[in-house]
Amino acid sequence: MKSPVLIPSNGRTRKPIHCIILQLARLGDTVQSLMAIKAAKQLYPELKVSLVVRERFADAALAVDWLDEVFILPTKELIGPAFSDDTPVENLIPLCAQWLSPIAKKPWDLLLNWTFTEASSFLATLIPSKVKLGYLQSNDFTLSASDGWSQYMQAILQAGLHQNIHLTDILTTQLLTALQIHHGEPEPNGSLPVTSKHFFSKDAETSSQPRKSFDYSRRWIAIQLGASHPSKTWPIHHWSKFLNRFLSEFPNHHIVLLGGRSESDLAREVLSHLKESDAPTERILSTVGETNFELWTHSIAQAEWLISGDTAAIHIASVLGTRVFNLSMGLTRYNDTGPYGNGHFIIRSNVPCRACEAKSLKEDHDCRETLDPICVLSAFFYASSSWHQKKTITFDQALDRFSGSELKNRTTLYRSRIRPSEEGGGVSYEALTKSPLTVEQWVALATGHMARAWYCGWTPPIGLEVTREKLHSNLVQSLRKLSESIQVGLKILNEAVACSTAFEQLCRGLKNNPVMTLDDRQAISNKAVKLQELDGLLDRLCQTEPSLQVFSNMSKVLMHNLNGHKLHEVSQNALASYKQLKDGLEIFSEWAHSSLRMVRPVMVKTARHDDALPLS
Amino acid sequence: MAADMDKLKGSVGSETLVDPHTVEKLIQHFLNALIAEQTEGEDSK
């Protein structure tokens, strides 16, 4: 047997850490995972990462040369027969076991399930590893979220609640925290930039596709026309109008259209509209339908900007260091999965969208139509000019110059920035328009703050991201109402903490777990009933005050994931969970007080007559 | 507020393979869940 390779590092030797990550979601999620893995590998050079991906979305993982191994899940091969000739699932088990065998045999130190789905939780349970994070299966075959960040993912992100920590930051923090707990402190000098034009370095080395169509002396703007879902796709007539005006306003720029085969019709129609209106289409290079992963990433890397809806392209541009101008439509939440890094822009319609309010994927989203092409062009002009850098004019003024005031207030433009660590770190999106803060945005800020307190252990001062002018009267009214509900919630949770403390003491006093006196059993049962009642009260409170929904969801996830072999261990876990909820609600309370303090009337000092006019 | 390290460390001690019967059951559940995802549409994720 070979002895483990020891990697020298600053005079020390560090044993390799064998880590397997399951990423069975789409390409965008894979690229975000790669960004998190690369950051961790820089801090822990001894980290050996193997990634499990779906065949259809494997390109990005195969294009980097710093993963140890890529395991491809052959979905079609494994479950195809169940669709094609109704093969019973039992007959497919041997083939799946054969695929799984080499993965399960390896001695993994760390397994992270970053897929956050039911299917992946079974796979994560099947692979032995010293430590596991993410969704797993419990002994009773129910889904379990094995760590704090996974519980947050399940209760908040996957429930579609508002929060402001980017998925890439969640994945990175989850991985780094696990490494720190189980494998010690990272390299002191490991925080190099993750993004690079050569992120997909394997492609650069093994390039086979000719790139002659690219004239490198030109200034290129890459445009991703389609998206994975119709609700996230900008209408053809908007693209046509935008491109028509773009070509006349930006005479020195060339455009490369990007997209897969399914977007060929879309590209043909847009080009046909442009030709009909005599636009200079010779400045457009269409690679739609002919783009493989290599040409796609190469085109994005060569472009100054990528303009795109919510697609994997925005994540590819983020890792390649190309600036992104993101047209945000439909149910996408830019806080969770927007372009990552400094200086990207996101534009979103402010006009109410029925389908968005109903959280519907099926209905046609009005926000696609109301995202006006002239607004988008004005915003792009503003973002790409030095106006915003020098802060000589605001976005609203730029909009006035371009399109007149009728389009004002119809969109919000956001700019991304990486916060300094003293402000909490991670990416954040700052609104460049003077639109007031909505209740949802306020809740997102408070929820993000709470998560950083729960899982990072420290937070920036309360309310740093809120300014007085952002607090509109509607929000202030809602916050006053919310404050009252928070006080009720705190009473419930204080009682829950007291009750679970007593519950924990009772359990600790038991001499034998399975055998107890009838009095002990009755006392424990009474406490359990009381805690159930308090859970019900919290749930009802959160139903009447939707801004507190995070607490009801978190409570359910935490209580489902109480673990321990003995009653005493479970009771300790319950106590810790109620304390966690109480600490979180106290943060919400501080946020509400801090915001309401900002709008309190302030006495204006006026000069008294006797001060102003001294008597002679 | 200090972060609760117990909440962040994940599930520890799962390095031994589960028994063959459970493995079979888990694989079956895994395949069923994959089929369900495929039926709902892989794109819906």
The pLDDT tens digits for B1-45 are 667 778 788 888 776 666 888 899 999 999 999 999 988 764 443
Work out the minimum CA distance from B27 to partner chain A, whole angstroms.
6
Asked whether the beta carbons of residue A178 and residue B8 sit closer than 8 angstroms, the reply is yes
A571: left (phi over 0), alpha (psi -120 to 50) or beta: alpha
A555 within 8 A of A549, measured Cβ to Cβ: no
Interface pTM (ipTM) of the complex? Answer: 0.89
The amino acid at B25: K
Residue of A nearest to B5 (CA): A181
Q: Does B40 touch chain A (CB under 8 A)?
A: no
- Contact list in A for residue B10 (CB cut-off 8 A) is 131-133, 146-147, 178
Provide the 3-class DSSP secondary structure of residue A320.
helix
pLDDT of residue A195: 81
Q: How far apart are CA A267 and CA A272, in angstroms?
A: 8
For residue A313, which phi and psi values (nearest 5 degrees)?
-60, -35
For residue A500, which phi and psi values (nearest 5 degrees)?
-75, -25
A433 within 8 A of A396, measured Cβ to Cβ: yes
Q: How far apart are CA A574 and CA A209, in angstroms?
A: 58
The two most distant CA atoms of chain B are separated, in Å, by: 45
Provide the 3-class DSSP secondary structure of residue A145.
strand
Q: Does B23 touch chain A (CB under 8 A)?
A: yes
Query: Which pTM was predicted?
Result: 0.92
A465 within 8 A of A445, measured Cβ to Cβ: yes
Facing A178 at nearest CB: one of B9, B15, B38: B9
Asked whether the beta carbons of residue A147 and residue B8 sit closer than 8 angstroms, the reply is yes
- Contact list in B for residue A132 (CB cut-off 8 A) is 10-11, 14
B/e letters for A332-352, b = 16+ CB within 10 Å, e = fewer, are bbbbbbbbbbeebbbbbbbee
Tens-digit pLDDT profile for residues A240-290: 999 999 999 899 999 999 999 999 999 999 999 999 999 999 999 999 998
- C-alpha dihedral (A562, A108, A30, A154), degrees to nearest 10: 0
* Proportion of chain A above pLDDT 70, given as a percent: 91
Provide the 3-class DSSP secondary structure of residue A326.
strand
- Contact list in B for residue A143 (CB cut-off 8 A) is none
Asked whether the beta carbons of residue A148 and residue B23 sit closer than 8 angstroms, the reply is no
Asked whether the beta carbons of residue A148 and residue B36 sit closer than 8 angstroms, the reply is no
A431 within 8 A of A414, measured Cβ to Cβ: yes
Q: How far apart are CA A357 and CA A359, in angstroms?
A: 5
Q: How far apart are CA A22 and CA A71, in angstroms?
A: 9
Q: How far apart are CA B24 and CA A265, in angstroms?
A: 46
pLDDT of residue A4: 46
pLDDT of residue A191: 64
* Proportion of chain A above pLDDT 90, given as a percent: 69
